[in-house]
């Protein structure tokens, strides 16, 4: 059994960080393996959504394996960053985090890099790196773009852990559920809702939000070029959706 497990569940790819003895902390090999998995997920047109979670009930991911970092090559990362995801800026298929337990340091950065997240009520969140003489690196950039500045500063300067309910109040996650198993169940429900939608419409929606936020102004976002949006407009599915509505039936998506 490997340290990163994958399984297909229909059109959903489920990824499990399986290192419970180190609270699902990631070493360099895990980062590169996850990069390969997300590369393949992006290429595979039969896969629509990915879910990432952790093994066991105690931890989703607590960041880097600090012992492994002390070894030669222990701080190496793929070009797509922590977990092969956090510096991946052109993935327009949705990724959902099923936070089964503690989500700390790089683990929280992974959640920030996901599009949706659901957490068990027992999960704790935080960027405690300053308490060991470090900082949250890329997590700081994502956090400061997703939260008001004072909320982000409160999390990273005090460097304390907080509960799932507070993470929901911050809007770092979408839902809180009772148990780790419920987190995966809820993530699967989210994935099922996404899969009911037209594939190209989902890609175009995520592309437009992601790329639009990178533009300097709202005016620039409106006038920017969005290839997935153009593909969607020219697709058979764009016609199918209207026909299905007119004929009062469920649409049959082809993804083209």
CA distance 117 to 179: 14
Catalytic residue (choose from 14, 71, 129, 247) = 129
Report strand pairing: 116-120 vs 95-99: parallel
Asked if 110 contacts 97 with a C-beta cutoff of 8 angstroms, the reply is yes
DSSP letter at 114 equals S
Cross-sheet strand order for the sheet of 4-9 = 4-9, 12-17, 49-54, 95-99, 116-120, 175-177
CA distance 159 to 136: 10
The reply to whether 129 belongs to the active site is yes
Catalytic residue (choose from 14, 87, 109, 215) = 109
CA distance 231 to 249: 24
Question: Active-site residues: which are they?
Answer: 109, 129
């Amino acid at each position: 059994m490997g340290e990163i497990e994958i399984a297909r569940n229909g059109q959903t790819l489920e990824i499990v960080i399986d290192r419970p003895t180190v609270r699902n902390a990631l070493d360099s090999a895990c980062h590169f393996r996850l990069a390969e998995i997300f590369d393949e997920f992006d290429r595979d047109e039969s896969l629509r959504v990915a879910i990432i979670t952790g093994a066991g009930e105690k931890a989703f991911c607590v960041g880097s394996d600090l012992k492994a970092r002390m070894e030669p090559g222990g701080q190496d990362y793929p070009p797509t960053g922590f977990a092969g995801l956090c510096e991946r800026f052109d993935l327009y298929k949705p990724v959902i985090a099923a936070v089964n337990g503690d989500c700390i340091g790089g683990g929280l950065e992974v959640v920030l890099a996901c599009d949706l997240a659901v957490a068990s009520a027992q999960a704790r969140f935080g960027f405690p790196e300053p308490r060991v003489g470090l900082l949250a690196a890329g997590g700081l950039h994502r956090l400061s773009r997703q939260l008001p500045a004072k909320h982000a500063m409160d999390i990273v300067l005090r460097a304390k852990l907080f509960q799932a309910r507070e993470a929901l109040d911050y809007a770092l996650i979408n839902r809180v559920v009772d148990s780790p198993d419920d987190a995966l169940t809820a993530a699967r429900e989210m994935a099922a809702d996404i899969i009911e939608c037209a594939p190209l419409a989902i890609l175009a929606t995520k592309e437009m939000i992601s790329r639009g936020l990178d533009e300097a102004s709202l005016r620039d976002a409106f006038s920017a070029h969005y290839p997935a949006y153009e593909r969607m407009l020219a697709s058979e599915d764009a016609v199918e959706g209207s026909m299905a509505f007119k004929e009062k039936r469920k649409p049959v998506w082809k993804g083209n």
